Amino acid sequence: MQPVPLPAFSDNYIWLLADDAGHALVVDPGEAAPVEQALAARKLQLQAILLTHHHADHIGGVPALLQRHDAVVYAPHDERIATAHHRLAEGDRVQLNAPSLQFRVLEVPGHTRSHIAYVGHGMLFCGDTLFSLGCGRLFEGSPAQMLASLDKLAALPGETRVYCAHEYTLANAAFALTVDGDNPALHERHAQVRTQREAGQPTLPSTLGQECASNPFLRVDSPAIADWARGHGARMRVDRFAVLRAVKDAFRA
C-alpha cells in the first residue's frame, strides 16, 4: 500500500492511502478538491482522515470532505481542530479495518504545541515537524521541544519512509550546503532531488537513514555542525539547534 502524494496549494502534499477494495484514508487534507478528484478517479471510498496539527493548510479541507463522506477524523488534543472524532496522544494507536492499517502516535511539539506524528508499516507521517533536509519553523514550541521531537523521530529505524507535508527539499538543500558543505551524503541527496524536481517528480518519501546522514537538523552532534555552530557562538547542544533554526529562518537562497 504505497502512499500517493496529492499536490495542494503551492507546495503541500496530502497523502492518500488505499487498499485493493477501494477503501482510503488521507493525511492532512488542507484542501478538499484534490482529495475528491483522486477519490473519484480511483473509485475510492474515504474512510479515515489523519491530522497532524491545526494549521489551515493541513485541516482546511476536512469540513467539506465530511459533508460528502462518512469518514472518521483522528487528531491531536487541540481545541483548534473542531472536526476531530478521536483525540490522540503519545503512545495511542490508530487501528483501521478498511484499509487495514495501524499507526502508533508520537507527540512531536515544536512547530505547534500539539503536533503529532503517525508511524506504522515502515511509514512516518510527520506533518511539519521533519522535512527532507529540514524541519519546521518554531511557531509555538521551544528549540528544546523541537530538538527532542526530532531526536524521537531520528530514533526510528533507518529504513522508515518519511512522508512529510511539503515539497521543500530543494530549497532546504540550498541552506544545508551552507552549513554542511563537506558532507558527501548531502551532495548525493542534493543531486538526487535536483534531478527529481527537474523531471517534475516529488522528492518524497525519503528515509530516516537518508535524513540522519544529510539533514543538518538531525546532525547537531556531528563535528561539522558543531564547528559551524561555534562560529555563531553556540556550544551547547540545544543552542546549536537553536542557532541553526534561526539562521535558516533568515536564509534566502
pLDDT tens digit sequence for 39-89: 999 999 999 999 999 999 999 999 999 999 999 999 999 999 999 999 999
Active site residues: 53, 55, 57-58, 111, 128, 166
Question: Residue 205: its pLDDT value, please?
Answer: 98
Using the predicted structure, report yes or no on whether residue 123 has a pLDDT greater than 80: yes
Compute the distance between CA of residue 215 and CA of residue 134 in angstroms, rounded to an integer.
Answer: 6
pLDDT the model gives residue 1: 83
Phi, psi of 41 (to 5 degrees): -65, -35
Tell me the CA distances in angstroms from 3 to 6, 71, 205, 214, one per residue in order.
Answer: 9, 18, 9, 23
Taking the C-alpha atoms of residue 163 and residue 126, their distance in angstroms, rounded to an integer, is 7
Distant-in-sequence, close-in-space partners of 160: CB < 8 Å, separation ≥ 6: 119, 122, 123, 124, 207, 208
Say if residues 39 and 26 touch (Cβ distance below 8 Å). Answer: no
Confidence of residue 238 (pLDDT cuts 50, 70, 90): very high
C-alpha cell at position 246: 534561526
Q: Model confidence over 131-189: pLDDT tens digits?
A: 999 999 999 999 999 999 999 999 999 999 999 999 999 999 999 999 999 999 999 99
Instruction: State pLDDT tens for residues 96-105.
Output: 999 999 999 9
Which has the closest alpha carbon to 96: 203, 156, 43, 18?
18
**Owner of C-alpha cell 500517493:** 4
If you average pLDDT over residues 9-13, what whole number do you get? 97
